[in-house]
A and B are shown apart, each in its own frame.
Chain A
């Protein structure tokens, strides 16, 4: 099949810019769901639980991931976690696959994730729209 040479491309009238997310950290707002009447973890136990989850799925390398618990409310079992952006998928998947706390079932609900801490102050998904 004969093919004509394509005409030379016109000079680009645009400039390509790639913006990578330069955010160093990602923030997650999570809530721990426990069956009724179970022992509630304290802040230290909560951090321990997160590290255990990371170790279960990703081993020692996962456990060494820099994760901080910024706030933790024992009453509602909700917390804000900070993790380096490269470790977001690891932390999130570890939380997803965590199924037990002290041999009782539990579930982590990741409510929001954002590279900006301020974004966690409101949740558009909870707005009642009509």
Chain B
């Protein structure tokens, strides 16, 4: 079973705040989080910085509740694109882009949404949840995105902060659900404080409110996050990734502990 993941924790200069966020996420049961670096092309002089490796930032990562493993920290890059020329950056093989585990785009117009879904080499497409949608989702680009294994991201923290944004979050989420039918959705937080984080089961329950089924809602915080991560990893390799897991060995003592009379019967 894929563990729970939160693919959007804003990475800021505040290391102490980030540490407390990580601790809160681990306590709530998230086994992986992604630190989000945002690049907005509207502001001048935006450079893609080299992400710091999590082990440098945090010497000791907190242990996930209920397991004995430490939380996994990833790096994610979000590009806010409002003009088609901004996408050139993704096509060029910039060295720094390759250092990020997940790449997301936030399209501002319908045309860019179409480009993001159909041609761009990204893992996540962010859905605007803080204002009224500037365009309607259309079926063709969304279907192409689902075929290509690109996921749509919905944030829930704006819905906690403000009642107007809550309205937009729910209405935009429902209109997306009508098109993608609950498939390929990732729900993440974008929480800046530990009190804005919610547990994975709470978020899955929120998915029911957005019109997903129970299994789709749970996938939105677990398996879909893992799929996004693997999709990001395929970018670094030639064609794909294969994971091997050690299979727990069958206990062979069972046979030997059987009474001798039963053994003889099966052989006869």
The chain A residues found within 8 Å of chain B, CB to CB, are: 33, 35, 56-57, 89, 92-93, 95-99, 105-107, 109-110, 125-126, 129-130
Contact = CB atoms under 8 A, between A and B. Distances in A.
A19 B29 CA distance: 31
A89 B205 contact: yes
Contact of B196 (A95, A105, A110): A105
How many chain B residues sit at the interface, stated as a range, is: 20 to 34
Given A93-B205, A97-B160, A99-B160, A106 B199 contact: no
A21 to B, nearest CB: 13
B240 interface: no
Q: Is the interface of A mostly helix, strand, loop or mixed?
A: mixed
Interface in B179-213: 193, 195-199, 201-203, 205-206, 208-209
A95 B163 CA distance: 14
Contacts of A110: 199, 201-202
Interface in B58-94: 65-66, 68
Given A107-B196, A107-B197, 4 more contacts: A57-B166, A89-B209, A97-B156, A97-B166
Given A97-B159, A110-B201, A125-B66, A33 B195 contact: yes
A97 B210 CA distance: 13
Contacts of B160: 96-99
A99 B161 contact: yes
